[in-house]
Amino acid sequence: MALAELPEYPWDAMAPFAVRAREHADGIVDLSIGSPVDATPDLIRRALAEATDAHAYPQTVGTPALREAIVSWFARRRGVTGLTVDNVLPTIGSKELVAFLPFMLGLGEGDVVVHPRAAYPTYAIGAAMAGAEALASDDPAEWPRNTKLVWLNSPGNPDGRVLSVEELRAAVERARELGAYVASDECYAELGWDAPWDETPIPSVLDKRVIGDSRRNVIAVYSLSKQSNLAGYRAAFIAGCATVVGRLLTVRKHAGLMLPAPLQAAMVTALGDDEHVSVQRERYRARRDLLRPALEGAGFRIDRSEAGLYLWATEGRDAWETIGRLADLGILAGPGVFYGDSSPQHVRLSLTATDERIAAAAERLRAVGETL
């Protein structure tokens, strides 16, 4: 797919359903796009404000304080030890990194980028932008010899799937056989719900149980958008193979891709404080505990969804029909077809709505359940 042939932005197709949902007497409950609605914590906002005398160009590589904060956070929260500041790099949100990674790694025509079957569409778009081919596959045995980049996503968007240490290790081992890079999108790792992930840290691809003693050609991608309500800050970073980090740093320097200095200061504060993350996680847990049984009572089956910000639901009918039925209830969801051909009957519902709106959605769904 050439750059000029990129598809229309998929969410534009939701406009008529949003109109239908807004016609509900009690207003729309927008559970479609996972954009945080809760306030950015005060301590992070203060850190940003105190750093606004930013007269000099920021460092593409990140300030020493930020790089050290990322290293410390990986050790404390993700169980990833042995990193140094040479193994980490801030990015302007994670989506731009996902979209441009194949290009920055030098992939092109004849190369394959593997991504999960149910997947955030930017993995495939990034392959197309580099002139490479995208392959949706969860089975390492299916990956062809010309695979050059493997995207993992755990916890997954849209389905909330968590990959075990064994699954991650199998993917890394196959990628190494093929001489491919591995990039693991782990942006929802602080939001585990079902056992054992409500108590046990969700595994990172950089865990030594996965990669052994070598980080070669393996990176993890993380964002503070979800755990810290920083989507508007575009605060993200990568960690892993120092050679890959160095290559991306060089490209980003040439392109002028640098995170604004005040945001770097805010990230240091966010990464050093675990309390606000726990508070936000419990908000999402309460919303999930309200919405999930209401969906199930209304005839939906929830698949996977053991972690992350979404409920991956089906009522056994075409996704667009379900989207329409929900819109008539004033509820806006996302169709599974946005995430690949493997999910024509699923919809994704986000937990990123206010407590009041989640309660309204649950009440409407319970009313449907009473008629079944």
Considering only CA atoms, which of 276, 286, 37, 306 is closest in space to residue 191?
306
CA atoms within 13 Å, Cβ hemisphere of 313: 27
Q: Any bridge partners for residue 311, and if so which?
A: 349
Q: Which CATH superfamily is domain 3-39+276-367 in?
A: Aspartate Aminotransferase, domain 1 (3.90.1150.10)
Task: Please report, for the chain, the start and end positions of each structural domain, with discontinuous segments joined by +.
Answer: 3-39+276-367, 56-273
Against a cut of 0.85, is the pTM above it?
Answer: yes
* Model confidence pLDDT, tens digit, residues 197-224: 888 899 999 999 999 999 999 999 999 9
Angle at 245 between CA 243 and CA 250, to 5 degrees: 95
For 317-355, the pLDDT digits (tens) are 999 999 999 999 999 999 999 999 999 999 999 999 999
Question: What is the predicted pLDDT for the residue at 36?
Answer: 95
pLDDT at 197: 87
Place of tokens 């990956």: 143
Least confident of 2-11, 222-231, 261-270: 2-11
Per-residue pLDDT, averaged over 232-246, amounts to 97
pLDDT at 10: 78
pLDDT value of position 11: 79
pLDDT of residue 2: 52
pLDDT band at 3 (very low <50, low <70, confident <90, very high): low
pLDDT digits (tens, 9 = 90+) for 88-110: 999 999 999 999 999 999 999 99
Query: Side chain identity at 344, as an amino acid letter?
Result: P
Q: Which top CATH class is 56-273?
A: alpha beta
Return the bridge partners of 240, or none.
Answer: 219
Dist CA 61 CA 211 (whole Å)? 25
Q: What is the pLDDT of residue 31?
A: 97
| High-pLDDT (> 90) share of the chain, % | 93
CA-to-CA distance for 34 and 349, rounded, in angstroms?
8
The predicted-structure confidence for 271-321, as pLDDT tens digits, reads as follows 999 999 999 999 999 999 999 999 999 999 999 999 999 999 999 999 999
Residue among 50, 49, 302, 277 at smallest CA distance from 161: 302
Q: Residue 205 in contact with residue 241, Cβ under 8 Å?
A: no
Residue type, 309: L
Predicted confidence (pLDDT) at residue 370 exceeds the cutoff of 90: no
List Cβ neighbours of 23 (8 Å cut-off, separation of 6 or more): 330
Q: Which helix (H) or strand (E) holds 223?
A: strand 218-223
3-state secondary structure (DSSP) of residue 126: helix
Helix (H) or strand (E) holding 168: helix 165-178
What are the tens digits of pLDDT across the range 42-92?
A: 999 999 999 999 999 999 999 999 999 999 999 999 999 999 999 999 999
CB 143 within 8 A of CB 137: yes
The per-residue pLDDT for 1 is 52
